[in-house]
Structure 1
Amino acid sequence: MSDKGVEDVFKWSEDGKPVKVDKWNATTVKNALDDAVRMIMTKHFKYDENHTLMDQRLVICTVACLFAATALVYDFLRPFPESRLVLLVCVVSYFVLMGVLTLYTTYVERNHFLIVHQKDQAGVDPDKVWTIDSCMKRFDDMYTLSLLFEDNQNNLRQESSFTKSVGCWFDENGELVGENFLMDVTALHDGLKSEKKKK
């Protein structure tokens, strides 16, 4: 792959500068790598991002905030104890929705941070779906990336992952070495595609 292609993929920051992070902050490092994976899947492989998981989480949060706002406004207009019933309904509903949100992030969203659709070039077959997960423990330098490929038309479901030290992709100054990361993600992606062809 040419250096120009690598530069195009990784110029995703607003100012167009290389990705640079505090390499001692695991959360920042993980988020930078997750964003780089998103750019690889959408810009390099040209898959369409599916925002359903995020949209559903936002709907739950929005409804919970509406209950909280309703309680606040109603109590202002009709002070306690007149607002007791409305406050009770809103508070209970808010906490129920926070429970729903916790269950949603734990059992539905899990570690998925990206879902992309691989469109059929002819526009005839249904989309193939790639679900991407990542994991990095708080005081660990090991980053795990998992790709799940689903082809519902052929009843095919395959998963592959790698775990590597983030030191493979960041230099001493905390700058992401895009070519190295792109190579590893591409190898993981292409490995799944080659397994799919064998079957």
Structure 2
Amino acid sequence: MTKKEDKSQPGEELVKVNKWDGSAVKHALDDAVKTCLLGDRPHLKEQFGLVNTRLALCALAVGVAIMAHAWDYTHPFPQSRSVLMFSVLAYFALMGVLTLHTSFREKGTFAVAVHKEKERTYEASSDMKKYDDKYLLTMSVRDSKGQREVNSARSCAAFIDTNGVILDNLVANEVNRLYNLLSAEKKDK
């Protein structure tokens, strides 16, 4: 679990994380990358399409479950057999679609941003294997010329001090480096 503490300068906060909890470290680093990517670039606007799709699928599944419960309440079991069977199948089908969406479309994407003036979409995704200290950050840009991506695989210790505080300036340096590589690659083509 992450904890925010006040820095010496007003308006800034330190994010402290249990450095031995890999999941908490990954999520804290994801938040820091997202803050750097969107906070330092006012021309980028966050897009919520992936999250909204996931929420819509979950809401549909919950709606099907509520409908099954309500139908079974008003029409006890022998009468509600076909509705319950349909609801169970629909629920599992929706969960299957949700699993496919998160596995093959999201793929660890935690930030999607659109350039306000130009038709360019930036995505940031990450991966950190269990019991591994390597934080794999992937940034990609999609525009009319196609899609390009750059990767960074560094130890999470490069971004966290010995007390478990996320070092925002080091995260920002890495995000800026990857963003500049994408921009340079874009200008070369």
TM-score (norm 1): 0.86
User: How far is the alpha carbon of 1:184 from its aligned partner?
Assistant: 1.1
Q: Which residue of 2 aligns with 1:94?
A: 91
Other-structure match for 2:150: 160
* Displacement of 1:157: 2.4
2:47 is aligned with what amino acid?
Answer: N
Query: Could you tell me how far apart the structure 2 residues matched to 1:21 and 1:35 are?
Result: 12
Aligned to 1:20: 16
- Tell me the equivalent position of 2:25: 29
Q: Which residue of 2 aligns with 1:108?
A: 105
CA distance in 2, matches of 1:142, 1:107: 22
Distance 1:116 1:186 in 2: 15
Once structures 1 and 2 are overlaid, which stretch shifts more, 59-68 or 38-47? 38-47
Alignment of 1:166-181 (within 5 A): 166-181=156-171
Instruction: Please report how far the alpha carbon of residue 130 of structure 1 lies from its aligned counterpart in structure 2 after TM superposition.
Output: 0.6
Alignment of 1:111-130 (within 5 A): 111-120=108-117, 126-130=118-122
Decide whether the 8 Å contact of 2:158 with 2:170 is kept in 1: yes
Aligned counterpart, 1:72: 69
Tell me how far apart the structure 1 counterparts of residues 28 and 71 of structure 2 sit (CA, whole Å).
42
Paired residue secondary structure (1:30): helix
TM superposition shift of 1:137: 0.4
Question: Hey, what's the Cα distance between the residues in 1 that align with 2:146 and 2:67?
Answer: 47
Q: Percent of pairs identical after alignment?
A: 35
Q: Deviations over 1:69-119 (max 9, x none)?
A: 111111112211111111111111001111111111111112222110112
Equivalent AA in structure 1 for residue 131 of structure 2: F
In 2: Cα distance, 1:132 partner to 1:110 partner: 10
Q: Provide closer, same or farther for how the CA distance between residues 67 and 140 of structure 1 changes in structure 2, counting only shifts above 3 A.
A: same
2:12 equivalent to 1:40: no
Match of 2:52 in 1: 55
1:127 deviates by 2.1
Query: How far off is 1:185 after superposition?
Result: 1.0
- 2:119 corresponds to which letter in structure 1? D
**Separation in 2 of the partners of 1:57 and 1:179?**
32
Q: Which runs of 4+ in 1 moved over 2 A?
A: none
Distance 2:146 2:82 in 1: 52
**2:124 is the alignment partner of 1:132:** yes
